[in-house]
């Protein structure tokens, strides 16, 4: 079992226990679990999942329900803000493929 898979399977109670132990904030742990679920369930790379999280997509179901054009704008805006114009652009076909994979995974 991979670390991403283990992280994706953590319960809310376990996240709360880790947060109480001072490992990290509960909010940060929930974000990491969301990233892990995007990696495990949808098959995204950790970098793609991180971009989506920062663009407001925190779950496979959220990705499955996303509007491709709107998501492209959100992800592009975040990516340019973080990496500048030197970052390779995300294309609509790539976003559509992410959404299609999320839809298959959540059905």
Q: Please, are residues 66 and 74 in contact by the beta-carbon 8 Å criterion?
A: no
Q: Where are the domains of the chain?
A: 3-106
| Residues in CB range of 98: below 8 A, 6 or more apart | 42, 44, 48, 52, 63
Gap between the Cα atoms of 54 and 63, Å rounded: 13
Q: Please give the model's pTM, rounded to 2 decimal places.
A: 0.82
- Chain mean position to CA 63: 8
Per-residue pLDDT of the chain (107 residues; tens, 9 = 90+): 678 888 788 888 888 888 888 878 888 888 888 899 999 999 999 989 999 998 889 899 999 999 999 999 999 888 887 777 777 888 999 999 999 999 999 98
Q: Please, are residues 16 and 52 in contact by the beta-carbon 8 Å criterion?
A: no
Q: Please, are residues 73 and 90 in contact by the beta-carbon 8 Å criterion?
A: no
């Amino acid at each position: 079992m991979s670390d991403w898979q283990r992280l994706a399977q953590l319960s809310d109670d376990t996240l709360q226990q880790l947060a109480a132990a001072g490992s990290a904030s509960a909010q940060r742990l929930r974000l990491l679990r969301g990233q892990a679920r995007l990696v495990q369930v949808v098959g995204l790379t950790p970098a793609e999942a991180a971009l989506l999280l920062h663009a407001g997509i925190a779950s496979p179901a959220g990705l499955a329900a996303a509007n491709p054009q709107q998501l492209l704008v959100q992800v592009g805006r975040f990516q340019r803000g973080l990496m500048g114009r030197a970052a390779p652009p995300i294309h609509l076909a790539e976003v559509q493929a992410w959404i299609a994979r999320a839809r298959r995974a959540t059905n």
